[in-house]
Each structure stands twice: as structure tokens, then as C-alpha cells.
């Protein structure tokens, strides 16, 4: 890279083997053959860059991906022209709602106030906003608490410009403590069962992170979420 009259050279290079990435992706699918993969392409693929991500999406003909934040979703739309579904897994802020609707991003949600504001903005832009409800099962981060779920759902189903198409949770210890993970699964299953009695638009149910995909063969739901670094370096 030139800076003024100086040339800067780096002694390290990141070399992407696309065939290896595709092979890894296929190995992940074999771990859970009955489930759709939702690849989590956060942080620019942990440094592999947009070009490699674009090629990966093209070769696998992906119609749905996930990001950590709204800005990453916007990059996929603007710079990669990706027209499939983009699920933002981290609960966005209120300030990001306009962009979520404008760029047709599918937002995670665990706060009813956020969902109500999203409904208002979707109505304003003449759209329906799609969301995935996050359930708190023991991660201790974000998500609708099971004891608050009925109240949340009762309010959510009144919002005319919201389509709840997904339900998910995060595992805290699937790489180390499977007993705790199974406790989380029990809570999640109860939440999913209740939500499906009230909401008929659910298409995706997912809880399988990278470790759980490999270690648990009877994961609930119809979708799994390997992180991008798992796809790049997986050795199953």
C-alpha cells in the first residue's frame, strides 16, 4: 500500500482456500443433515474479507445468512448486493430501526418496546418487518425471560406490521457442560411450544451454535448457526 512516497509491505498474508471452506460447510451439514444452515458471517468473516464472503455465498447459493450487527447487514446489501434474508442476531438499538426496515433486514428481538417501534417504522415505510424472537434460557445476556413470555407474545401479536418468523436461543456451555445445555434445551422447547400455539408464521427455530452442532445430534428446531470461523477452520 502506498502512503505518500512510501511503500508499506506486510510480511504476513491471509490465503483463503475456497475449496476447503466449501468442504467444511458440507461437513457441518452432515453433522445435522435435517437442518438448514444459517451461516453467521460476522466481523467480515473474522478478517477473510468481503471478496471471500461474496464468493462463498455465490458458490453455496445461500438464500439466508446471519450477522452480529445491523451495519454488517447493510454492507451485505450495499457492497455485495445480497438479496436473500439477513438475520441480525444481536438485539439492535432503537436508533437502528429505520435502517433495519429500509434494508429489509430480519431483526432479532427480545424487548417489546423495540418491537413496537419497529412496527411503527415498518408502517411508515409501507413494509412488514420480519423478526426472530430471542428466548433467554440461561445464557444470561439477552432474550425474553420464560416467565415474561406470555405477556410479550400477547402484545406482539397485536402488531400488524410485524411478522415473527423465527425463534432462537443461545447456548452458554455447549462446548463444556452438556447437562446445562440440556436444561437450556428443555426451557427452549417449552417456549417454542407455547409460541407456536399463538403465532402461525414461524418458519425457523434455531439454537444450535458451533459446539452444539457437533456434540448434540438431536437438536431442536430446523436450523443451525455455525459461526464463520467454524466454517473457515472446521475439522470434523
The predicted structure's pLDDT at residue 2: 47
Separation of alpha carbons 96 and 121, rounded Å: 11
Query: SS3 for 33?
Result: coil
Per-chain mean pLDDT for the chain: 89
The predicted structure's pLDDT at residue 48: 59
The predicted structure's pLDDT at residue 8: 61
The predicted structure's pLDDT at residue 89: 94
- Is the pLDDT score of 57 beyond 50? yes
Q: Are strands 36-37 and 64-67 parallel, antiparallel or unpaired?
A: unpaired
Give mean pLDDT, residues 116-126. Answer: 98
The predicted structure's pLDDT at residue 16: 73
Query: SS3 for 74?
Result: helix
What is each CA distance from 53 to 7, 210, 234, in whole angstroms?
28, 18, 16
Question: What percent of the chain has pLDDT above 90?
Answer: 70
User: Which pTM does this prediction carry?
Assistant: 0.89
Of 78, 77, 124, whose CA–CA distance to 105 is shortest?
A: 77
Count CB-CB contacts under 10 A for residue 86.
24
Whether the Cβ atoms of residue 89 and residue 67 lie closer than 8 Å to each other: yes
Cell reading at 45? 468473516
Q: How far apart, in Å, do the first and last CA atoms of the chain sit?
A: 38
Long-range residue pairs from 222-226, CB within 8 A, at least 24 positions apart, any chain:
222/34, 222/35, 222/36, 223/35, 223/36, 223/37, 223/38, 223/166, 224/28, 224/32, 224/35, 224/36, 224/37, 224/38, 225/38, 225/39, 225/40, 225/66, 225/89, 225/168, 226/28, 226/37, 226/39, 226/40
Query: SS3 for 115?
Result: helix
The predicted structure's pLDDT at residue 180: 97
The predicted structure's pLDDT at residue 235: 44
Residues 61-119: pLDDT tens digits? 999 999 999 999 999 999 889 999 999 999 999 999 999 999 999 999 999 999 999 99
Amino acid at each position: 500500500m502506498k502512503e505518500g512516497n512510501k511503500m508499506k509491505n506486510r510480511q504476513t498474508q491471509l490465503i483463503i482456500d475456497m475449496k476447503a471452506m466449501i468442504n467444511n460447510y458440507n461437513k457441518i451439514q452432515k453433522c445435522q443433515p435435517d437442518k438448514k444452515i444459517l451461516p453467521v458471517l460476522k466481523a467480515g468473516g473474522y478478517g477473510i474479507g468481503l471478496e471471500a464472503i461474496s464468493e462463498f455465498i455465490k458458490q453455496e447459493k445461500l438464500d439466508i445468512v446471519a450477522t452480529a450487527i445491523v451495519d454488517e447487514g447493510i454492507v451485505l446489501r450495499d457492497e455485495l448486493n445480497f438479496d436473500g434474508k439477513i438475520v441480525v442476531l444481536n438485539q439492535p438499538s432503537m436508533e437502528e430501526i429505520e435502517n433495519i426496515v429500509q434494508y429489509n433486514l430480519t431483526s432479532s428481538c427480545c424487548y417489546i418496546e423495540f418491537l413496537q417501534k419497529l412496527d411503527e417504522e415498518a408502517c411508515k415505510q409501507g413494509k412488514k418487518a420480519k423478526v426472530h424472537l430471542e428466548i433467554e434460557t440461561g445464557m444470561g445476556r439477552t432474550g425474553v425471560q420464560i416467565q415474561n413470555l406470555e405477556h410479550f407474545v400477547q402484545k406482539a401479536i397485536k402488531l400488524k406490521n410485524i411478522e415473527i418468523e423465527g425463534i432462537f436461543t443461545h447456548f452458554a456451555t455447549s462446548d463444556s457442560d452438556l447437562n446445562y445445555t440440556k436444561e437450556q434445551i428443555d426451557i427452549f422447547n417449552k417456549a417454542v411450544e407455547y409460541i407456536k400455539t399463538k403465532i402461525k408464521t414461524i418458519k425457523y427455530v434455531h439454537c444450535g451454535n458451533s459446539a452444539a452442532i457437533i456434540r448434540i445430534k438431536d437438536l431442536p428446531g430446523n436450523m443451525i448457526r455455525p459461526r464463520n470461523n467454524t466454517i473457515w477452520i472446521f475439522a470434523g
